[in-house]
Amino acid sequence: MTTTQDFSPEPDLTALRESSEGLVVQMARFGNMVQRLTETVTELRTEFRREIAELRTEFRGEIAELRTEFRGEIAELRGEMAELRTEFRGEIAELRGEVTQLRGEVTELRGEVTQLRGEVTELRGEVTQLRGDMTRGMSTMQTEIRILNRNVTSRLGNNIMLNGDDRLEPLYNLTTGEIIANCPATLGELEQCSATRITALLRELDEVVPRSLEDKRRRLRLAFGVPRLMAGNGCRKWSLSNRRNSNLTPNASRSLRRLSSSDRGPSLYLEHVYNSTMGV
């Protein structure tokens, strides 16, 4: 049986020595560099400390001057602040007084506004009531105008009646719009009305009631638009052409006859002609 033994080569002592010497040299150089760096740092530190000391001395002087200056300015500002406080306090007190006064005025104005609102509400109610009254008044007026127009037409028709037995155009009550109660049907019946009946008819027509019977009859004739009564041959006749003291011309008479028989209805012109004819 054969055994094999490994033998490592022998170290080169010369190379090791040279390597060690080189390392020693480099270490020496590094040490010198470290020493020089240390010296440089020491010098820089010394110089830096010296500059810091100089700056401290310089800054201390400047800081002392600034402190003195600032203290003076602060004292001056404090004085101004004290003056401003006093002034502001006075102005604030004055403003508070004005605000209190304004609040009182606002309260007073609110009361006036409330009162005005109440008055406006009341006025609105009155206006609404007036509008209703006006509406009702206009309706009543229109109704009365229609009734008046019908009465004018009736009077124009009655004005051209000739005989006592001619039928009268009826008149209408201004309030109800109905034919007046106990309205005479003919000219003869109109002339034969009693004093009591004449009074009732005039009142229903809203006419003035005279005292004497003759004046009442005359007023009733005027209300119905008939001419004055003419006597002849035992009968009562009614005429337009033979009336005395009349302002009605023949042309007007013919116009009245045409208008009374037309379908156009009454107008203010017809009422004017009627009034001038009757002497109203």
- Please report which confidence band the pLDDT of residue 2 belongs to, taking 50, 70 and 90 as the band edges: low
Measured from the Cβ of residue 18, the count of other Cβ atoms closer than 10 Å reads 11
Region of poorest pLDDT, from 2-6, 117-121, 213-217: 2-6
State whether the Cα torsion 196-200-201-207 is positive or negative: positive
Render pLDDT for 46-105 as a digit per residue (tens, 0 to 9).
Answer: 988 888 888 888 888 888 888 888 889 889 889 988 988 998 899 999 999 999 999 999
For the ranges 14-18, 29-33, 92-96, the maximum mean pLDDT occurs at 92-96
The pLDDT of residue 242 = 37
CA atoms of 179 and 182, how far apart (whole Å): 9
The pLDDT of residue 58 = 83
Contacts of 202 (CB under 8 A, 6+ apart): 208, 209, 216, 219, 220, 223
What is the pTM for the complete model shown?
Answer: 0.42
Domain boundaries, given as residue ranges, for the chain: 149-278
Render pLDDT for 239-277 as a digit per residue (tens, 0 to 9).
Answer: 333 333 344 445 445 554 554 444 444 444 444 444 544
Helix or strand run (H / E) with residue 6: none
Contacts of 278 (CB under 8 A, 6+ apart): 155, 222, 225
Residue in the block written with tokens 């009305």 = 193
The pLDDT of residue 230 = 41
The pLDDT of residue 199 = 96
Helix or strand run (H / E) with residue 230: strand 229-232
Higher pLDDT pick, 107 / 13: 107
Classify 46 as helix, strand or coil: helix
The pLDDT of residue 11 = 65
Contact criterion met (CB below 8 Å) for 240 and 272: no
Higher pLDDT pick, 18 / 239: 18
CA atoms of 91 and 77, how far apart (whole Å): 20
CA atoms of 188 and 246, how far apart (whole Å): 22
Within the chain, residue ranges assigned H as helices are 13-159, 187-191, 195-204, 213-224, 250-261, 268-278
End-to-end CA distance of the chain: 183
CA atoms of 19 and 25, how far apart (whole Å): 10
DSSP state of 10: P
The pLDDT of residue 231 = 38
Contact criterion met (CB below 8 Å) for 185 and 167: yes
The pLDDT of residue 257 = 52
Copy the structure tokens of residue 249: 């011309």
